A and B are shown apart, each in its own frame.
Chain A
């Protein structure tokens, strides 16, 4: 399959936990990665592989992968976490890059 599906909008109360999900057949064979994008900025890698965080990403961000679903969890959401989040993976052939449609996270 050549698609990754995300819920367009997600909301969370300040300090609570939120899970952003991504579904696609390619996730059976490849880990998802997650990018955070704030208005006017380039995307920022926040999670990849089996729950790996790049340097500087807070540990309130975590990731999981199961079957055809990947999840990005933010435990104790902060105002600065309000952003668009995109999942990504290789396609089933392993040569192409897929992006999900993005999830807009609102912190209430």
Chain B
């Protein structure tokens, strides 16, 4: 059973870079059947897809965030990471990492979520 766990600071100052890491266990990280993605949810609001990465390193980002996002992988540690630059209060959200099944493009396993607050 695949498990995902987000880690990183829960408080980030405005204009700085938000950095989160997702650690994957369960053995599917290097499979070509899956992508790995980030999703966020501002308090009291809906889900927003941030981006995804494939085992080859190819990425796709939400066009509305593309200029500020970078997603990378560390195959040796079964981790993938999110960097979101120049944050503002509008980036305050619960950030989820999840496994994206390639055949149907659905998120079938999710981390528990990490609340990140942007505040000085």
Q: Is B108 an interface residue (CB 8 A)?
A: yes
Do A43 and B49 touch across chains, with their CB atoms under 8 A apart?
Answer: no
Scan B83-120; emit 1 where CB is below 8 A from any A CB, else 0. Answer: 00000000000001000100011111011110000000
Complex Cα gap A30–B103 (Å): 11
Q: Are A33's CB and B104's CB within 8 A? A: yes
Q: Chain B 24-56 against A: per-residue CB contact (8 Å), 1 yes, 0 no?
A: 000000000000010100000011110010000
CB <8 Å contact, B49 and A98? yes
A45 to B49, Cβ gap below 8 A? no
Instruction: Assess whether A28 is interfacial by the CB under 8 Å rule.
Output: no
Q: Would you give the shortest CB distance from B23 to chain A, in whole angstroms? A: 15
Q: A86-B47, A101-B46 are in contact. Are A42 and B110 (CB under 8 A)?
A: yes
Please determine whether B60 and A95 come into contact, CB atoms closer than 8 angstroms.
yes
B50 CB to nearest chain A CB (Å)? 9
The reply to whether the CB of B67 lies closer than 8 angstroms to some CB of chain A is no
Contact B104 A31 (CB under 8 A): yes
> B106 contacts which chain A residues (CB < 8 A)?
33, 45, 48-49, 88
Given A35-B107, A97-B52: A102 and B47 interface contact (C-beta under 8 Å): yes
The verdict on A90 contacting B49 (CB below 8 Å), with A43-B110, A96-B60 known, is no
B113: chain A residues within 8 A (beta carbon): 42
B108 touches A45 (CB 8 A): yes
